[in-house]
């Protein structure tokens, strides 16, 4: 980081911890969490290094620092080998992700509603509810209707592609796909910069 420190406010740390900002201020006042005040501001600033040391003392994972920044991805595919390939491909990107799985359409709808992912990677042919029905359900719900959906399928016939066009699909990736193709779609849809 070339000498620059990353600082957090007491409010940001409170959000990470799920605590009230007054609780974080008390940690600062007691010296448990070392904070500085800026020359021009009375507000506390906490260096990343100090926050990490505090979290370690409290037995809290430092992963909570980046959790808020992590892009949330839902992989909905009933084939464990495909899920593993997708997971491995995503992990090659230099970006924090929170990934959840669904191995049938019903689970996909439930997880999409609870996690509100930044993108859904959706197989068309799954048990309990196919990808088309999942899409219809997502598009009917105000909380999920605008989530970008990347269809990953081996069934790319004209009929399926026509049905997908009416369901606001962001992109379609045909199996078998390359790692680079999948990474390109994810980075474009999420508008992230991959440093690989």
CATH of the structural domain 70-190, one choice from 3.10.20.30, 3.40.50.300, 3.40.980.10, 3.40.50.2300 = 3.40.50.2300
pLDDT of 40 above 70? no
Cβ atoms of residues 109 and 63 within 8 Å: no
| Strand ranges, E, within the chain | 7-8, 36-37, 44-47, 71-76, 97-102, 119-122, 149-153, 171-174
Average pLDDT over residues 100-124: 94
The pLDDT assigned to 159 comes to 82
Alpha helices in 18-126 (DSSP H): 21-30, 48-58, 64-67, 80-91, 105-115
Give 57-85 pLDDT, tens digit per residue: 988 877 777 765 678 899 999 999 999 89
Q: What is the DSSP letter of 63?
A: T
Does the fold of domain 70-190 match that of domain 7-65? no
Fold designation for 7-65 = Multidrug-efflux Transporter Regulator; Chain: A; Domain 2 (1.10.1660)
The residue count of the chain comes to 196
Number of Cα atoms under 13 Å in the Cβ half of residue 107: 14
Task: Return the domain boundaries, the chain.
Answer: 7-65, 70-190
What are the beta bridge partners of residue 171? 150
The whole-number pLDDT of residue 39 equals 60
Look at residue 192 in the predicted model and tell me its pLDDT.
Answer: 59
- 3 state DSSP class of 131: helix
Distance CA 127, CA 147 (A): 22
């Amino acid at each position: 980081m070339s000498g620059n420190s990353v600082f957090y406010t007491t409010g940001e740390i409170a959000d990470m911890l799920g605590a009230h900002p007054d609780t974080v201020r008390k940690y600062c006042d007691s010296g448990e969490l070392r904070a500085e005040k800026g020359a021009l501001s009375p507000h506390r600033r906490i260096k990343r290094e100090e926050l990490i040391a505090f979290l370690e003392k409290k037995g809290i994972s430092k992963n909570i620092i980046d959790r808020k920044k992590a892009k949330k991805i839902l992989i909905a595919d009933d084939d464990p080998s495909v899920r593993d390939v997708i997971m491995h491909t995503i992990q090659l990107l230099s970006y924090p992700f929170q990934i959840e799985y669904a191995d049938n359409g019903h689970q996909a709808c439930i997880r999409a509603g609870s996690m509100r992912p930044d993108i859904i990677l959706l197989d068309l042919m799954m048990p309990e509810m196919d990808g088309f029905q999942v899409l219809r359900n997502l598009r009917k719900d105000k909380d999920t209707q605008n989530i970008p959906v990347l269809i990953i399928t081996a069934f790319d016939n004209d009929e399926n592609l026509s049905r997908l066009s009416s369901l606001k699909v962001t992109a379609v990736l045909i199996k078998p796909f390359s790692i680079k193709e999948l990474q390109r779609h994810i980075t474009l849809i999420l508008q992230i910069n991959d440093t690989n």
